[in-house]
Amino acid sequence: MKKEELFALMTANPAFHLATVEEDQPRCRAMFLYRADGNGIVFHSGVMKPVHQQIIKNPKVELCFNDFQKGVQVRVSGNLEIVNDKSMKDEICEHPTRAFLKGWRESGTLDDFYNNFQVYRLKGGKAVTWTMETNFAPKTEISL
């Protein structure tokens, strides 16, 4: 697959799994993609969550996207960076799929919203694909 096809698959299948490490224990949880394109893979969480502390200690992660209809899995490894950009946080809050965030920002439900709402970006990662047909074939990394 080409890089653009990978981004399209991620965008069409925004629920993904994020793997981090805590001490010597792997941790994996479902996340919700905001955007995937040439500027990076962008998603968010809260600084009060264990995932944030895991990322701060070790920004090396792996993301796993699945297109179950086509039987394709895409795994992306790389380093996350913290995006401390208020305009980006506002952009995410205004997106129709993130109405709950706008409510939190405006109601004060999340104290000190801009410092507790964290955006992450994986840029320049390496992707590998998997299908049943390529199950035993050597993996080829695709630079993002």
Q: Contact 3/142 with Cβ under 8 angstroms? A: yes
Taking residue 30's Cβ as centre, other Cβ atoms within 10 Å add up to: 9
- Quick one: pLDDT at residue 67? 98
pLDDT-based confidence at residue 132 (cuts at 50, 70, 90): very high
- Quick one: pLDDT at residue 108? 77
> What span, in angstroms and rounded, lies between the C-alpha atoms of 61 and 54?
10
Pick the CATH number of 3-85+114-143 from 3.40.50.1370, 2.30.110.10, 1.10.10.10, 1.10.1060.10: 2.30.110.10
Taking residue 123's Cβ as centre, other Cβ atoms within 10 Å add up to: 14
Q: Residue range 74-99: average pLDDT? A: 95
Strand-pair partners of 131 = none
Q: Where are the domains of the chain?
A: 3-85+114-143
Q: Residue range 134-143: average pLDDT? A: 96
- Quick one: pLDDT at residue 111? 77
> 105-129, pLDDT tens digit by residue?
888 777 789 999 999 999 999 999 9
Share of the chain above pLDDT 90, in %: 90
* Beta-carbon contacts of residue 20 (< 8 Å; ≥ 6 apart): 26, 27, 28, 51, 54, 55, 58, 61
> 41-55, pLDDT tens digit by residue?
999 999 999 999 999
> What span, in angstroms and rounded, lies between the C-alpha atoms of 110 and 33?
21
